[in-house]
Amino acid sequence: MMFFRTIVCIICCLLAGQAALADEGTVVVAKGGDKPLLLWDATPVVTAIVSSKQARAAALQDLESRAMQILGEHAPSLRHAKSLTIRLIYQKTGAVSPVYGTATFEGIERLFELTTSANDARSHAKQLADQLEHGSVPRGVDLNLTGKLPPP
């Protein structure tokens, strides 16, 4: 009986972890090698930002900080990488379709690309993320803002 409870607890913890990840979107390694590219489809996060009417500057800093944390989480598995880049994208929606009653797909928006050395991502991701969250781009981090957040 105790074994069964343990298995149930493990499964519940795994499902809760997957639910938390689902709320942040999907991260995939799009290109490997010594300069891998990670794509982060942050559509659920951007949707939550629009719904909450969070200030755009603060929201952008939060997204940049989380992107650095994601690089830190993936860095150990990308052993041959010299630098790491993450590109945040989200799905843009348009007007509500009168036929289907749902928002139309308008395309993909590239919000930013964040690049840092793989060694920094492995050993200092938390510190770099904290600096980004406070509005400062740390030395050794390249932040290229290529898009914008949708209006509230």
Regions of the chain where pLDDT drops below 50? 1-22
How many structural domains are present in the chain? Answer: 1
Express as a percent the part of the chain with pLDDT over 90.
Answer: 60
The closest of 71, 72, 105, 107 to 87, measured between CA atoms, is: 71
For residue 13, is it within any domain?
no
Full residue range of the structural domain in which residue 41 is found: 24-145
Q: Say what the pLDDT of residue 9 is.
A: 39
- 38: tokens are 């990670």
What CA–CA distance (Å, rounded) separates 85 from 29? 10
| pLDDT at residue 113, rounded to an integer | 96
Q: Is residue 48 part of a domain?
A: yes
**CA angle, residues 25, 56, 61, in degrees to nearest 5:** 65
> pTM of the predicted model, to two decimals?
0.79
Euclidean distance between CA atoms 125 and 68, whole angstroms? 6
The answer to whether residue 4 is domain-embedded is no
Crossing angle for the helix pair 43-52 and 56-74, nearest 10 degrees?
160
Q: Determine the pLDDT at residue 147.
A: 93
| 36, part of any domain | yes
| Position 1 in a domain | no
Q: Looking at residue 7, what is its pLDDT?
A: 40
What pLDDT score does 20 carry? 40
Element holding 93 (H helix, E strand): strand 83-96
Domain contains 52: yes
Assess if residue 98 is contained within a domain. Answer: yes
Does residue 113 sit within a domain? yes
